[in-house]
Structure 1
Amino acid sequence: MQTHTEILAKSNLNNGISLHDHLQHVSYIADIYSRKLGYNSDICKYGAIFHDIGKAHPVFQNRLKGIYDNNQIDFRHEISSIFFIPLVEKNLHDNIIDMVIAHHRSPIKDVREQGIIDLINLEGNEEVFIRHSEPWEEWMPIALDILESLNVKVRKINLAEAKDFFCYTIEHCKNKRQGWSEYKGIMIGADHLASAVNERSLSISERIFEIPDLGYFHSENRKSTIYPLSLVNTDNNKKHTLVIAPTGAGKTDFLMKRCKGRIFYTLPFQASINAMYERLKNCLPKDSDIRLLHASSRMLLNNNSSYEEKALQAKIGASVKVLTPHQLAGLICGTRGFESMAIDIKACDVILDEIHSYSKVAQSMVIEIIKVLLKLKCRIHIGSATMPTVLTEEIKKILGGSELIFDVHLENKILDTFNRHKVFKHKNDFFIEDIVEKAIKKNDKILVVCNRVTSAQQKYIQIKKTFPDIPIMLIHSRFKRIDRNNLEKKLIEYYANRDVMPDSCIIIATQVVEVSLDISFDVMITEAAPIDSLIQRFGRINRYRNEKFIKEKIIKDIHVLAPAENKKDCLPYDKDIIDLSFGELPDSEILNEKDIQRIIDKVYPKIEIIPIGTHLVWEGDHFLLKELCHFPKSVLLETLNIESACCILQSDQEMYVKGNSEIRTALEIPVSRSVIFQKNTKYGISKYGNHPIIIDDTMYDSNLGLVWKEIENFL
């Protein structure tokens, strides 16, 4: 048997793997998918083997060598691939067509107009067929050799038979109804994973889709009166979970114990995702397949991480994946790859932690995601320290009511043991230096939280000037991604660690510290914010519970600045909500934990569900897209700024151009998408990577981050 190692699937500049090897790797993984997910193994195997066989065509091979005519209509190898599907049983044909013809392009209304129906409409049947088949007698035997070496029973296919199947495929695609293809999802997932790990596909394939070992969370030594949720029996037959409890009550353990399958753990912020990823790595067995997913996730993996570990992060099949709900938004928007995402998450446990921490539009998105997760038979577990009752009731209704939800709340007498903060309200920030000075004398660790980057930068400069000998650090979202990751690590391992830094220190931060960062400081100074955000911030002060904490009722001070007088200075929040939140806080008194729900409900007596139906591919139980099709992008995702813009320094431009995706990500500074419409740079926008705007080096400081006065409204 000839494998034709000279016939490539990818160019020598892109790993240079042979077509035979690539098809073999994809088929390994597709076979595992079929066995572990319960799909037809023959369909998955043959779909994987046939999906790229059209790359044996000389036009594609020449293109890999840099020989092609830019003026010609693009050659689509998946069209050439379908000519060989008649080699297998007829009853397999339709599903294999779905796997092959649409794994790169929507058949119709593709963004590049390169789907099979798009090309037919542009050129006509005959022209498309000739361009993708000829010279048939030259390359068809090579393709058959490769297929035979992959254990496909081959025979010569004449041109007429190939054309007949080409015409059948066209009608098959034209007659598609509304819906989505699970086999397309398997194909995309297997192709992407195999392309990432190549020859390691066989060893990788045996590890994917494994249910995690959660023995650590179920062990008896995790039970303690210090963490009251650890004493609640999680063996409840109800499918879903809703738990409202303060920081430090044991929510994470409780939610993990409620899981029965693979886990998707969602959190709202990058910092909290990173912290949870590290926490789970320490809790689960060493060989567990735990992954994280956000814009900078590959950088969090340290230098000891294997190429394999880095390559797997965004691929399907993890035992545990830690991510934001925004990464799941493709499920409701129908963007590229949504089918493989659906296959990945189907029937899994999905933890939605701190679900309250989203904007109105994002909250509407999360609610719609929950609805789709239910269609995919997921078990949904929701945890929060602060959630308005009206939102709780809305979610309960969506999940199916009390018959399906294990609803857990702590009694008031237990909540009383969580009283830990005394709140002081201030009309202005003139007092800050006095508070900092007193805290330093007590050797306290001080956390200052601002609502906007510019405000945090100004306070950093002010406090550093006044206290030059005290360790101080600024952290926010407008640093280079690599610098931001290093700052988070430094915060947790150095500044917040009494064993490493026993003396006083000062951290200036934005909302990036609100959720799930495992730090405990002694004093907080914070700008006024919505009550739910404030409660999360307060959770970084006097965080750790122990017997001494409960017995002595240790209380730490929180200082809250009055809201700004104009709406602009209250951004990114709503001034009315901030004013109401500030008014409901006690002054010079202990904030009682049992009163927090009442305060939240006073601030949020109703919820505003922003209508986003025009952006969705689901309408009730009806899927609105034609099967095999997807949207290239989503207006909703852009509105949420999920696909955020970025900038790079002019001095980093050459490294960005030459670097791989990991290097490019490290150099990027996230900014609002609105920035790309500004005309504040003489260097323009890069043509590479994420097309960052190129800024002058003077606009970035290693301690302050991005200092861009012209666009401060967007920062």
Structure 2
Amino acid sequence: MAGIVIYAKSKPPETLFDHTKAVVDNSLSLLNAYGKRLKDSWPESLADLNSLMRIVAAYHDLGKNYTPFQNVLRKSINIDPLAVSSLDPHIPHSFLSAAFFLADASDLEIEDQCLKALLTRAIAFHHHRDIMERLLDPDNELLKEVIKEDIQPNYERLDFMKELGIILNKPGFKGIKRILTGTWDSYWESVVRNNPEYQRAYILLSGFLMKADHSASAHLPTEFEPLANTKDSVLKYLAGKKIDVSSLWQLEALDSIRERNVILIASTGMGKTELALLWNGDAKLFYTLPLRTSVNAMFSRMLSVFGDDGRIGLLHSTASAYLLEEIEKGGKQDAEIVGLMDRARQLSLPLSVSTADQLFTSTFKYPGYEKVYATLSYSNIVIDELQAYNPEIAAAILWGLKEVTELGSRFCLMTATLPGFYMDFVKDNLPDLVIEKRFLQVSKHRIELVRKNINDSCDSIIDSWREKGRVLVVVNTVKQAQKLYEELKIRLDNESEDNLMLLHSGFILRDRSLKENKLLDDNNPFTGIVVSTQVVEASLDIDFPVLFTEIAPADSLVQRMGRVERRIREGKLNLENPNVYVFWSDETSGVGSVYEKSLVSGTGELLENYSGRLLSEEDKQEIVNTLYYSDNAKKVKEKFEKAIEMLKLGILKAKNRDDAQRLFRDISSVECIPLAVYEKEEDVILQLVERVESSKERIPRLRAATELQGYTLSVKRSRVPDSKIVKLIGSTVVINIPYDASTGIQYEKEESPFV
């Protein structure tokens, strides 16, 4: 059998020896680069991490010697098959690789049964295939047949493993099913999975193997060179903003928070981001935010701080669309953008800006989650604006933080407001915690609680606009925003076209982007009335002199207030009149659907004590804390605690990553094109679909997919009855629900499909 080439990949062709060596090298380079931090999280009672990592890396793909698998690759490479075989080519090679390891375990001095099971499973499940469950059925003999008829007769084709210091024994079937399924699986659950040290070891070994394997397959480094001189970069950036860096509060706080877990509660505009970067230093960092718009803005900000050398990543579901704009602006080449996307997806960059779902869907333990957890074990994480998530999602994030800090990760949780029961969970469950509170010593908001429907105050809104030049109006539902917009449009008459904007997430991406770009244009700032929903709470860096808002829970109101006089950080405002008007009536939208009734009524009762008064930053914290420690927050707290308990028991477990995304978002949504848009742009849309399906080049395919995405919006599945679905284009549905570019999608009933 000497001289037979065994392949691992076909595009481009790569031998199994070369790929295996690359995975071994990647594994060891990762451990060398982050050895000290990894050593702290590796169980002392187990064998050396490096030696075990080398074993799983060396054995992980030996099952690719399977003849039918080799014939598939050789056909793709356009060379002759090894031999004719009638065996099923879809047998997972990772299961066959596990058989090789079990045959050699004693020679490798792996005698402990739990450790043997741990290594076997790390190898067997480094890829997930749907066929696995069927193969492990006690009555299914296919795996045994394959090992007996093909793996055993041909194992000497892997003689090249001697060059990696491994002499293979003939693999057998004995023990493999026992370790991977049935009664042994319950042994695994009761002894290994419930032993924190073995559980930690399994996650790290399995995750590092996946990471090393994926990077070798992509021909990328497992980790790119860390950023250096972070402190200098941050201070230079701030100095460029004309900020005095000689007495920064962030530097004062640094000694007490460095290399610890941090909760930072600070006023909007205090410089939380700069503190997070200084806290992180030159460590690997994932910076998470709730919404893609804010992630894009933070990505651009990080480029301004550190420069653009391809080591800052962008991670969210439409990141390619944002990055492709860089090509259009002429600043990047196609290959650069493709490379950046690949590096970000491999989690291999020293700084990645991300939506939280890109990391914390792993809390639901979908197959392959170990790669994310293992990467986070030697990384720092920033969680910005936790209060923007619903309690179930917040539970997933905080439970995920608990688990990855046990592996070695550190976090900085930053917010302007934090419900008390979130704080209590972190205090009780996450170690080495320091809480830092910083508030602006300026009162920027005088509020007035108005006990009537906001729709009855159109004249006051217009009068305020004429006086102040810009007015922000925030309501709780899309339908209410549309209704108020139409009423203001009638009142303004000819003035409405240039001075009135409606913004919510019920617009197709193209229309919403046009509105947001107009609103954020510093060179030609929008001067008018903006009617919006919660999308402005955390996603847009906007500043208005006055706010009219429907009542909402206190933490949401504080976020909305953060869009008023946002850039004033010191001094004294002349606020004889209110600049925040909070409307509370029986007709307030979204009460009971978007927000818990008890939270809204509790907030109203608290605000009655502050109406007409200046609100300090400490006042805002007191209102939020009082609300969430009261009985008014009971239902929300129960949702959070129930989600935590289900995560703890392993009930919230995902079948795959898409399923985890659905669990994380707590929503089953579909990508839709409104019929009115489709009919107007049908030719263009169909051409784009054809380009997506037929283009062999990656960038043209991404361009077409990104442009097609511009005609879509994400809609809660319950809002799209089958009777409203006109046709299916790929995974996108055309829906017969009214849509207008100025007002967005229009539903018959009020619900909460968007934020």
More off after superposition, 525-534 vs 659-668? 659-668
CA distance in 2, matches of 1:308, 1:550: 49
How do residues 601-680 of structure 1 correspond to structure 2 at under 5 angstroms? 601-606=625-630, 608=637, 609-612=640-643, 615-616=646-647, 618=648, 631-632=655-656, 638-642=662-666, 644-649=668-673, 651=682, 652=685, 654-655=689-690, 657-658=693-694, 664=705, 667=709, 668-675=712-719, 678-680=721-723
More off after superposition, 327-336 vs 246-255? 327-336
Shift of 1:523: 2.6
CA contact (8 A) 1:515 1:536 kept: yes
CA contact (8 A) 1:425 1:559 kept: yes
SS in 1 for 2:309: coil
CA distance in 1, matches of 2:421, 2:246: 30
Letter in 2 for 1:52: D
Shift of 1:399: 3.5
Structure 1 or 2: larger helix share?
A: 2
The answer to whether structure 1 residue 9 and structure 2 residue 25 are counterparts is no
TM-score of the superposition, structure 1-length normalised?
Answer: 0.79
Equivalent residue for 1:265?
287
The answer to whether structure 1 residue 323 and structure 2 residue 338 are counterparts is no
Q: Indicate the percent of aligned positions where both proteins have the same amino acid.
A: 22
CA distance in 2, matches of 1:154, 1:576: 66
Equivalent residue for 2:565?
542
SS in 1 for 2:253: coil
CA contact (8 A) 2:471 2:547 kept: yes
Q: Among 216, 221, 230, which residue is 1:213 paired with?
A: 230
Tell me, which stretches of 5 or more residues in structure 1 are unaligned? none
Shift of 1:127: 2.0
CA contact (8 A) 2:265 2:417 kept: yes
Shift of 1:522: 2.4
CA distance in 1, matches of 2:233, 2:275: 12
Letter in 2 for 1:272: S
Q: Among 213, 236, 248, which residue is 1:191 paired with?
A: 213
CA distance in 1, matches of 2:140, 2:285: 45
The answer to whether structure 1 residue 245 and structure 2 residue 266 are counterparts is yes
CA distance in 1, matches of 2:51, 2:134: 25
Equivalent residue for 2:46?
none
Letter in 2 for 1:259: N
SS in 1 for 2:723: coil
Q: Among 268, 292, 298, which residue is 1:276 paired with?
A: 298
Equivalent residue for 2:454?
429
SS in 1 for 2:375: helix
Gap change, CA 1:154 and 1:383, over 3 Å in 2: closer
More off after superposition, 341-350 vs 391-400? 391-400
The answer to whether structure 1 residue 314 and structure 2 residue 345 are counterparts is yes
SS in 1 for 2:353: strand
The answer to whether structure 1 residue 572 and structure 2 residue 594 are counterparts is yes
Equivalent residue for 2:374?
343
CA contact (8 A) 1:520 1:542 kept: yes
Encode CA deviations 1:286-340: one digit per residue, 9 max, x unaligned.
Answer: 3373223332233222333521101222322332233344444345432222211
CA contact (8 A) 2:453 2:587 kept: no
Letter in 2 for 1:457: Q
SS in 2 for 1:671: strand
CA RMSD of aligned residues (A): 4.3
More off after superposition, 526-535 vs 569-578? 569-578
CA distance in 1, matches of 2:309, 2:503: 32
CA distance in 2, matches of 1:70, 1:515: 58
Residues matched between the structures, number: 667
Letter in 1 for 2:382: I
CA distance in 2, matches of 1:528, 1:565: 11
Letter in 2 for 1:447: L
CA contact (8 A) 2:739 2:745 kept: yes
CA distance in 1, matches of 2:368, 2:513: 28
The answer to whether structure 1 residue 74 and structure 2 residue 90 are counterparts is yes
Letter in 2 for 1:254: L
CA distance in 1, matches of 2:658, 2:735: 31
Encode CA deviations 1:676-703: one digit per residue, 9 max, x unaligned.
Answer: 7x323344656x5xx44x1247654444
CA contact (8 A) 1:439 1:446 kept: yes
Gap change, CA 1:613 and 1:242, over 3 Å in 2: closer
The answer to whether structure 1 residue 167 and structure 2 residue 192 are counterparts is no
Shift of 1:503: 5.7
How do residues 142-541 of structure 1 correspond to structure 2 at under 5 angstroms? 144=159, 151-152=163-164, 161-164=169-172, 166-173=173-180, 174=184, 176=188, 177-178=192-193, 179=199, 180-195=202-217, 198-199=218-219, 201=220, 204-205=221-222, 207=224, 213-217=230-234, 221=239, 224=244, 229-230=249-250, 232-236=252-256, 239-260=260-281, 261-287=283-309, 289-301=311-323, 302-303=326-327, 304=332, 306-389=337-420, 391-400=422-431, 404-410=432-438, 415-423=440-448, 425=450, 427-442=452-467, 444-464=469-489, 466=492, 467-481=495-509, 484=512, 487-492=515-520, 494=521, 497=522, 500-502=523-525, 504-515=527-538, 517-541=540-564
CA contact (8 A) 1:212 1:288 kept: no
CA distance in 1, matches of 2:440, 2:108: 65
SS in 2 for 1:322: strand
SS in 1 for 2:345: coil
More off after superposition, 390-399 vs 651-660? 651-660
The answer to whether structure 1 residue 598 and structure 2 residue 622 are counterparts is yes
Letter in 2 for 1:532: D
CA distance in 2, matches of 1:207, 1:451: 44
Encode CA deviations 1:518-572: one digit per residue, 9 max, x unaligned.
Answer: 221223222221111011011112110266x547679872233324448865521
Letter in 1 for 2:519: L
Letter in 1 for 2:734: I
Gap change, CA 1:707 and 1:87, over 3 Å in 2: same
SS in 1 for 2:722: coil
CA distance in 2, matches of 1:546, 1:377: 36
CA contact (8 A) 2:23 2:216 kept: yes
CA contact (8 A) 2:550 2:588 kept: no
CA contact (8 A) 1:423 1:590 kept: no
Tell me, which stretches of 5 or more residues in structure 2 are unaligned? 39-48, 194-198, 696-700
Shift of 1:577: 1.5
CA distance in 2, matches of 1:474, 1:289: 37
Encode CA deviations 1:105-161: one digit per residue, 9 max, x unaligned.
Answer: 3xxxx7x34159615642265324246538x44xx566556x67xx53577x6xxx4
Letter in 1 for 2:297: A
Encode CA deviations 1:418-448: one digit per residue, 9 max, x unaligned.
Answer: 4344446251234554244334434623322
CA contact (8 A) 1:54 1:78 kept: yes
CA contact (8 A) 2:475 2:534 kept: yes
How do residues 47-62 of structure 1 correspond to structure 2 at under 5 angstroms? 47-48=56-57, 50-62=59-71
More off after superposition, 298-307 vs 639-648? 639-648
CA contact (8 A) 2:287 2:352 kept: yes
More off after superposition, 116-125 vs 222-231? 222-231
CA distance in 2, matches of 1:206, 1:381: 22
SS in 1 for 2:582: strand
